[in-house]
Amino acid sequence: MLKNLNPQQLAAVKHFGSPLLIVAGAGSGKTKFLTHKIAYIIDQKLTAPQHILAITFTNKAASEMKNRVQELLGEQCTEFPFISTFHSFCAYVLRKDFQSLNRPNNFIIYDSYEQQKLIKNILKNMDISKTSYTYNFVLAKISEFKNKLISYQDYATLPSNHILYDQVLAQIYEKYQQGLISNNAIDFDDMLFYTVVLFQRNPLVLAKYQTQFKYLLIDEYQDTNHAQYNLAKLLASQHQNIYVVGDFDQNIYSWRGANVQNILNFEKDYAQAKVLYLEQNYRSTKTILKAANGLIKHNQQRKEKKLWTENAEGEPLVFYKTKDEKQEAEYIAQKILSLKEKSEYQDIAVLYRTNAQSRVLEEILASQKIPYKLVGGFSFYSRSEVKDIMAYLRLIYNQADNQAFIRALSKPSRGVGQTSITKLLNQSQATNLSIYELIKQNKTNLATKQTQSLKSFATLIFELEQYYQTLTEDKIGKLVKSLLKKSGYQQMLEIENTPISLDRLENIKEIISITKNENLELGDFLNNIALISDIDNTVNLDNAVTLMTMHNAKGLEYKIVFIAGMEEGLLPHYRSKNIPEALEEERRLCYVSLTRAKEQLFLTAVDDRLIFGELWKRPTSCFLDEIPQDTLLIMEEEKSYSGHPHSIVYKSKEKFKNNQAFDHDFNVGDKVKHKIWGEGIIHNLEGIAEKSIAHIRFNGESKKLMLKYAAVTKV
């Protein structure tokens, strides 16, 4: 059973008697350790299988773990340990013991649709504008509170000047929870929340599960949020037989509540804890690991570790900078075609920081007949927010398009429900008039409030159509900018202000970039989009290049990896650059992306990138300076790209040009101005050169900003 383990894995599997943290680097065989640990406990009869609890984050990972344990134990595996996700385990507990919190055990679990319906009714009854408190915004905030174990009662007692407190949100939160209770329902966040509360308030219930589960194993510990962390600590508090696996260098989900301090503080939480490192990598070449190690060592929130491998030295990382994003995509397509001689499409992945980047890549790959598939998302033109804006454009072009009318009407919501829409569709069919025409002729036969909403919307479409007729250049880009503003769609996403909503806004604004400098008519543009969408539906996915965001790439591996958009503002992302902790997470994200590659890595960037229809100069990512230069092969283009997939000739550059050293003239006491937070005063400075950090107090709130990237000026 243990013969295929390396010395570090073997030591980890055989360790008992105290809590254990396994720091498992990328490609080091963490799943192998976990499954062998479980099998070894059972094989050595240290406890019965049913007394082992193994928790992971996805059903897929849990299923894989079960299968591997069964393979290791063979015929002696007649009983199984409890291997599940956090949520599945919590559902199991609540089904048995929810009554200890005076709640019935036969609860139902609300999905996102049912949650939205409940919030919708609450907002309607409270007469709250949906532009101020959207469903997604409210649900994201409530989820955040629950994952921080903040009940609605606790939230309501927060002081009014607390960073989290919002009086209206407090009322919505209370009504939402009361609504769940009255329907004998819980949501997914409640599973974690109530299980922790149950264990905290009922020592006897906690003791029952501590007795039942004498060994606790947790995968991806660096991704645990506050609730998950507390749940683990409660379960392990009696026996201390807790074995967690994770990697502080792969913590990339703070926006989902993951807290890197959970893994960094493991030894503080468990006084007798032992830490073992799995540093032998079985995935990548020596060169790739040297590049990744050189990058991640610049992070402060980590413990020293260095991946190594017995694999071959391998080829250098190739960096190539193009003029713009179209040439970047063309270069990637050309390289894929040349690599196809020795590799399959399915061996290749293209990673990018933002979903909006996929648009140009999709179009170029499709034009070169390179099959591709998207992981963790929809193709660009299939994304709901893009389809919403396309519905507006279709309606502006053709007011008889009822389906476009209905979709555009609902985003943002204008108070016209499904019952009214059904009546309009029936009336349209009976009269052979479009919904738009029914409104125009005042023949809707609806209540006054709904009729007014419909008239306002029809007026909006008419005004946008008239505005389009006045345009002479960049017509579609200007039209999209106008409709985003006048329709309230942009405001809706900005007010929501979640990572998902901001990502959607980036996708929408990418539409503005599509027709820049082409000056297409609206009808031609819509036809082109329809043709592109048709290509999306016909690609062969059996052997295809994988396109995905860097976040979705975690846990995966490919023979060849492209990382597109190695530029300031993309990687690291512009929303992260001013905050040291966020910059470290961006660096971890880059590290994760580098370590997905087994044999070859290609990094690309552009000089100028169209962002929201405007051309932006793009300096290369600061992370490129942090990658050891002897691992990089810098390629230059000898002649311009002609459009033919084999028309580029390259030459190598001997070394990478580092950015000029950063300096500043800020001092403690300086009054400064920031474009978002306004005026403030520097009350502390730390670090030197490009690592200089200013502590600035804005309206009583202190911010830590890296001066190299912070948009601050002296006043």
Cross-strand bridge partners of residue 653: 634
Q: Which of 632, 585, 710, 541 is nearest to 250 (CA)?
A: 585
633: exposed, middle or buried (Cβ count in 10 Å: 0-12, 13-18, 19+): middle
Residue from 187, 190, 220, 279 carrying the catalytic annotation: 220
Structure tokens at 641: 């790209």
Burial of 561 (0-12, 13-18, 19+ CB in 10 A): buried
202: enclosing H helix or E strand: none
Distance CA 408, CA 393 (A): 9
CB atoms within 10 A of CB 265: 12
Please, what is the Cα angle at 194 between 191 and 195, to 5 degrees?
A: 80
- Under DSSP, the state recorded for 621 is P
Residue of 504, 509, 596, 609 marked active site: 596
Question: In the structure encoding, which two tokens stand for residue 499, read together?
Answer: 């990572």
Cβ neighbours, 10 Å, residue 72: 19
Residue 130 is encoded by which pair of tokens?
A: 């949906």
- How long, in residues, is the chain? 715
- The catalytic position among 9, 134, 222, 250 is 250
User: Residue 477: CB partners within 8 Å, gap ≥ 6?
Assistant: 512, 513, 515, 516, 613
Indicate if 30 belongs to the active site.
yes
Q: Catalytic one among 187, 189, 219, 385?
A: 219
Please say if 220 is a catalytic residue: yes
Instruction: Tell me whether residue 596 is one of the annotated catalytic residues.
Output: yes
Q: Is 465 a catalytic residue?
A: no
Q: Identify the residue whose tokens are 């179009």.
A: 363
**How many CA atoms lie less than 13 Å away from 316 in the CB half-sphere?**
17
31 assigned to active site = yes
Which of 31, 346, 354, 491 is labelled catalytic? 31
Which H or E element spans position 318? strand 317-322
Q: What 8-state DSSP symbol labels residue 256? A: G
Q: How many CB atoms lie within 10 A of CB 713?
A: 10
CA dist 170 and 183 (Å) reads 20
Task: Please confirm, yes or no, whether 261 is among the known catalytic residues.
Answer: no
Q: How far is CA 139 from the centre of its chain?
A: 17
Q: Which of 8, 30, 554, 604 is flagged as catalytic?
A: 30
- Measuring CA to CA, how many Å separate 161 from each of 156, 248, 559? 12, 33, 52
Distance between CA 428 and CA 580 in Å, rounded? 57
Which residues does the annotation mark as catalytic? Answer: 30-31, 219-220, 250, 596
